[in-house]
């Protein structure tokens, strides 16, 4: 049984009496522990799909199923790292990371909670910034706090919307490496939205290419690179270059169409 299953799911938004089709009827099944990357031009409905799976939006048509059951209301089985980091501005970095473990559904002994927070801070490389407030952190640091906050409670499914967009190239590779290790180790299912094709190929089992608005799936490509992957070197292999080129051929028409160049 697929972990996440979209059958004929479509979504239309009504703005100023005009209906905008964000997502055309789409079918997509994500298997347990699969890492799926969604790429495509902006406004192609990638984020809409994550919102539908998280239950923050209801589909206009079709059904979204999670573990075989239709998603109704907020889907608490997923961890969702949105494009905008939704950190609480009155909490320090450490307090933001801890918040999921403060909730009743995950309450644990204090010492263990603190231990896990320290572990996450270490993992995302924020040592020394535990007591800083979000306004005192750079964009990249805020992203890492948001990542740590999502990973700390080890949701079985991770939805990520351009999580590393604001990071510099070196740091991004480090984070990709950590993400790969962690999601494999904890057997997470991941849906990862990105505009960076290299990032998608490096991490994903399958890459889904979307067409420009109205969004629909243009092609799905399986990435046959062995795991674990060396995120620092894989980009220089021939298989990677080959895949990158053929996917870019698919993507570039859509990108030019989507941005009205």
Residues that bind another protein (CB under 8 A): 54-56, 74-76, 78-80, 82, 84, 86, 88, 90, 99-100, 102-106, 153
Nearer to another protein, 99 or 255 (CB): 99
User: Measured from the CB of residue 83, what is the shortest distance to another protein in angstroms?
Assistant: 10
Cβ proximity to another protein: between 90 and 236 the closer is: 90
Task: Choose between 73 and 228: whose C-beta lies nearer to another protein.
Answer: 73
The CB-of-73 to another protein minimum distance in angstroms stands at 9
Least gap, CB of 1 to another protein (angstroms): 22
Burial class (CB in 10 A: 0-12, 13-18, 19+), 251: buried
Q: Return the number of the residue (106 or 187) whose C-beta is nearest another protein.
A: 106
**What does the buried/exposed string (b/e) look like for 157-177 if buried means 16 or more CB atoms within 10 Å of the residue's CB?**
bbbbbbbbbbbeeebbbebbb
- Taking the complex as a whole, how short is the minimal distance between the CB of residue 112 and another protein, in angstroms? 18
Q: Answer whether 66's CB lies under 8 Å from 7's CB.
A: no
CA distance 107 to 112: 10
Shortest gap between Cβ of 211 and another protein (angstroms)?
28
Nearest distance in Å: CB 238, another protein: 40
- What does the block give as tokens for 101? 């473990």
The side-by-side arrangement of strands in the sheet containing 61-66 is 18-30, 4-15, 61-66, 69-70
Q: Name residue, tokens 């190239």.
A: 169
- Identify which of residues 79 and 215 has a Cβ nearer to another protein in the complex: 79
Q: Over the range 80-117, which residues count as b (16 or more CB within 10 Å of their CB) and which as e? A: bbbbebebeeebbbbbbbbebbeeeeeeeeeeebeebb
**CB proximity list for 242: less than 8 A, separation 6 or greater:** none
Closest distance between another protein and the C-beta of residue 84, in Å? 6
Nearer to another protein, 82 or 194 (CB): 82
What HEC string does 185-198 produce? HCCCEEEEECCCHH
The sign of the dihedral angle between the CA atoms of 252, 257, 260, 261 is positive
Of 86 and 256, CB closest to another protein: 86
């Amino acid at each position: 049984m697929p972990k996440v299953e979209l059958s004929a799911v479509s979504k239309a938004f009504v703005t100023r009496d005009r209906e905008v089709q964000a997502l055309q009827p789409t079918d997509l099944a994500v298997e347990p522990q699969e890492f799926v990357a969604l790429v495509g031009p902006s406004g192609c409905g990638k984020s809409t799909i994550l919102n539908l799976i998280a239950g923050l939006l209801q589909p206009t048509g079709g059904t979204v199923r999670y573990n075989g059951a239709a998603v109704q209301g907020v889907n608490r089985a997923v961890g969702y790292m949105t494009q905008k980091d939704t950190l609480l501005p009155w909490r320090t970095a450490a307090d933001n990371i801890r918040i999921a473990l403060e909730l009743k559904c995950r309450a644990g002994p204090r010492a263990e909670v603190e231990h896990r927070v320290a572990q996450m801070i270490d993992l995302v490389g924020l040592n020394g910034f535990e007591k800083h407030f979000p306004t005192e952190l750079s964009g990249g640091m805020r992203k890492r706090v948001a990542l740590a906050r999502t990973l700390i409670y080890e949701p079985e499914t991770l939805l990520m919307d351009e999580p590393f967009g604001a990071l510099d190239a070196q740091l991004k590779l480090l984070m990709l490496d950590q993400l790969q290790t962690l999601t494999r180790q904890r057997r997470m299912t991941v849906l990862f939205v990105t505009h960076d094709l290299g990032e998608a190929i490096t991490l994903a089992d399958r890459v889904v290419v979307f067409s420009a608005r109205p969004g629909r799936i243009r092609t799905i490509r399986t990435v046959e690179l062995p795991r674990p992957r060396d995120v620092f070197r894989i980009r220089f292999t021939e298989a990677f270059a080959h895949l990158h080129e053929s996917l870019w051929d698919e993507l570039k028409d859509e990108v030019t169409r989507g941005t009205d160049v």
